[in-house]
Structure 1
Amino acid sequence: MNSKVLAESILKLVGGEGNVSALVHCATRLRFKINDIGRVDITKLEVLDGVITVVQGAGQLQVVIGNRVPEVYREFGAISSLLNDSRDSAPTQTRDKDGTVLGRLVDVVSAIFTPLLGAMAAAGVLKGLLAIAVALGWQPTRNSSYIILHAASDSLFYFLPMLLAITSARKFGANVFVAVSLAGALVYPSIQGLFDAGANVSFFGIPVVMMKYTTSVIPIILSVWLMSYLERFLNRHIHESVRNILTPFILLAVMVPLTLMTVGPLGISFSKIIATAFVTIYGFNPIVASALFAALWQVFVIFGVHWGFVTLFINDLSVLGRSFLKAATGPAVFSQSGALLAVMIRARDKKLRALAGSTFIASLFGITEPGVYGITLKLKRPFICAVCAAALGGAVVGYARSSAMSMGMTSLLTVPIFYGDGFMGFVLGCVVAFIASLLLTLMVGFDEAGHPACAAAPTAGPAAASDFAPAVPAGTTLDLAGERIGMPINGELIALSQVNDKVFSSGVVGQGVAILPAEGRVYAPMDSRVMHTFASGHALGLQSDYGAEILIHVGIDTVQLQGRYYRLLVAEGDRVRKGQLLIEFDLEAIAHAGYDTVTPVVITNADDYPQINTSNLRHQKVGDTIITLA
């Protein structure tokens, strides 16, 4: 399924645009804020082609897509107004009152920090590589090349309050440009100069405690949150003719000094308290702390509550310059990679092996959700083995007191962000977690029979080669190993060329057969997904598990009946099993209305197959193989 169709299908199953109050995405999942969860068809979402799984938690509906999530997210901007700035600027506090306190917190944190993570990871890697180059004597710090690259790596963190002002304003429904101006005032050179000088500062006689706001996190978020309330109050009481000037003027005049006098110092102090508290706990027993956090990290990821720790990571970086807690996530990621590699080695089913292989590669680059949701969690024992191995690797990381100098998704590419004291311990911890998970999973094993990838294998029975005649190309022989399409309607089989419609008989639509129906029921010809339906109910398109696209068109020109005499029993995106009833229609009424009831069954992507064979047998029953693809 292409990204646009997938986005359309997801939007339909979550209850439409009107049922979504907010939408963001992270590395692998779409995060919906839903108005009425009762309107969401979770069962159909979970089996939708392109969706790995669906998770409800932390006040969000999380649809796990995998690596394609940015593409699918962009398509929501084309098919809806969910990504428009006008929606982003709407106040969201009233919508966030539903759900738990933890859910609302995670929702806020994910909305504020998600847009920054890509750039933050890139800057972090560059900063780590520069640190390695300096440590090895490859690059002197006074060299102009180093100064330029260091500016590129450090600017995001230095001006972090300004970037957080943008995302916070969008989340809290505040004016983005006023919020950025507020943040800019906090990091303005002369303001920072007052802090560096240690001078006594006052604002019209009121003492101001100066703080350093570069790289800070909490002060600007709190300030923009308060500003959003003041802005809505002003907009309600200032006439629209002068609102665009007076509201920003009052916001800047009030919020900048208010932040410097109260919100800023409180935020900085709170940040230091959090950082000191964690350092105290971590210092008490870093081995146990890191082991426990590494073991639980993927559990946090499953429920989406790991976003609550992102604030702690970034706060540690801004206050301490390093994050010990962030380093413990490394073994958790690579332990899942080890488990996936073990599944790929040990699995007998080809499809499961292929799925494990692709998710293993993705996990090495930090994308663990497809592997966790699609493989290890479904097989259970590999996930447990990975958790145990992560704890072992986390203990090594804690013993070495490894830490991160920057944010970024833990992966092979971002290893440089962990450079510094304990770097080799971090590498060793990740290697230990990977190897231990691999060996444990290979030894413990798993039951692959219940995995969906194995259960989806075709179940059609054997057929004799004499029952078939080649359709494309002529003179070829049947390959019985090819995919088989069953008879969808009880009736009489005729050649597609005999259909009284040039579009079908000429093969323009695709290659296949036609059926003279004996009854008014259409059944699924194979395990598949419903690609397309029509409001008139006279036709539908299916896609098999192996990629064949099949169109079943009940009657000729029957679209003109506008749905009369048809009852469609499935919807786009539905997963259907072979033999499942799809359409009911009144055969006699359609014929009495003067329409030809012949039903073409065609392979619309016939060009993808070198050979398409159709049955020679005239009389068939539902489920009998009528088309074989090679």
Structure 2
Amino acid sequence: MATKVDYEATGQEVLRLVGGEENVNSLVHCATRLRFKLKDESKANDAAIKATEGVVTVMKSGGQYQVVIGNDVPRAYAGIVNNSRLGSDAADDSAKGSKGNLLNRFIELISSIFLPILWTLAGAGLIKAFTALAVTFGFSTESQEYIILNAIGDSIINFLPFAIAITSAKRFKANQFTSLALAGILLYPTIIGLHTAGEPVHFFGIPVVMVSYVSSVIPIILAVWVQSILERWLQRALPSAIRNFTVPMLVLPIVGLATLMVVGPITTFASSLIASGITSVWNFAPWLAGGILAGFWQVLTIFGLHWGLVPVMLNNLTTLGHDVMAATIFAPVLAQGAAALAVMLKTSDKKLKQVAGPASLSGILAGITEPAIYGVNLPLKKPFIFGCVGGAIGGALAAAGGAQTSAFVVPSGLTLPVFIGTPAMFMVFLGVAVAMIFAFVMTFLFGVPKVETETENAFVEKLDNGEDSGIPAQTVPANSKVVPADAVVVPAGTVVPTAITEENTTDLVAPVSGTAIAMKDVNDPVFASGAMGKGIVIVPTSNQVVAPISGKIVTALDSGHAYGIRSETGVELLVHVGIDTVQLEGKHFTRRVAKGDTVRAGQPLVDVDFPAVAAEGYDTSVLTIVTNTGNFSVVEPRVDEKLNVGDLAVIIER
């Protein structure tokens, strides 16, 4: 039995053998290879890398040092980026996707930074929800058991800047441990104590406005972003002999002090301005002020500006014995949970459903909305907007009815009973109900994007249903090369999905029209050697590449040049469009499928402008490789002849 390869360890060993992180200018990966750009290739130990478990071979081409891994290259890549500063898949993907208006780029930035910690946030939120539920059934908040359980559920939320420091460092390619130190400055007990004391703070005579950075988001993201810029400059400017310790020695005080002295005053000023504005409006139009406060509550929370309103609420409770503002913020909090619930029930995206379920539960029960906002609603945009609008309506209703509370509690479904017996209790519950219903219904109807197969698959759906496809069919002789024997034959020059039966999930059909050649003749030594597996190469004469087999898309690179497909019969396939075309970064490629999609044989994978690719100097050969060739007794390609899309291309037998 073959030994299971630890590809993450392989990646780390390869990084060491190419000369370490300090010898790497950049690193990306394609469908099969780690592609390094090294500062000094002479430092790379070719022989040792080739001998490393999990490595197929080493190539040097186009200024890149290429380490061929195979289908498991993403795992080797993860092993490198998770233990170095060379970036991450998330960072690389997000960087490519950071286009559009400023709002879209901001949402994408926040979402990508929160993505790695979503499950922890969701799990912690559920712990908080169940702890709060236990309190409603008589569990004492004064007990040591409650204190410990509450700390377990609250720790990630309370110390959120630490988690965000790590993910932000990945995103901005900064030193993670320096980023953690910056977060530590913001959450250091004595720094928090200076804020709590409320006394003037100075640093060598310079006033420092102290604010609470507990659970904050934007301050640490800004700090790490500035850190990354300063680090890159210092890395270039400082001598290598002192660089390692001098960079953090300079970054920590410069960025730390800048954050405390700049972010703090800006946050305090903005919070005070908002609080004053809300209070002024409340005096003559409570419903309007309540609607504004509730509508923007979650936005204020994202920027940490809500902390400026909390002292106003607490002061009202102390001096007046009640507060009207706190009564309005239940609606927006629960509305975000309701929007996430609608996403969970409506979406067919399994990953999104898995996040939205616990996120909605923690948001509705415990009022912990971070998983719902950053993992579901904000990335989808519309659910977040619907939650804010629903919250505004609910807050306006509560404020118009004169709702108030005599105790300050975290807004959640389980703390709603605090309003029982208070003036305008009915209006509070009505406002929350309207907010949740509005957010849920609008999200369910209009806020969840479809992730089903694209419209071009309508042809296959018609065939499945026995409907007329609109393309003339004709009888095909039993000895025809078209698979299967009863396949639809289309007019010359028409590219459509092949009518292939569900049972045909072993043999491969031609993914593109053109001349078939043997794998050994392809202009790439790794593929030609057969190290990646057996298959077929087609020099294309058509501009659409289709699936050679029915199965699941397990790999679909952003560049559009490579796709991994796994069939139900166990065939694992790599469709590689062109040689070294990863360097085009998607130019001339229009992807038709995404990772996780289920495709039928003949379904379009990608549209390619092959003449333009050739004009850029790249080989346009389309490779179809059975990467688990050893699992089959026969992998027999048809070569040295012209094939059309849908023609039998490779016979596979166990």
- The TM-score, its normalising length taken from structure 1, stands at 0.48
- The TM-score, its normalising length taken from structure 2, stands at 0.47
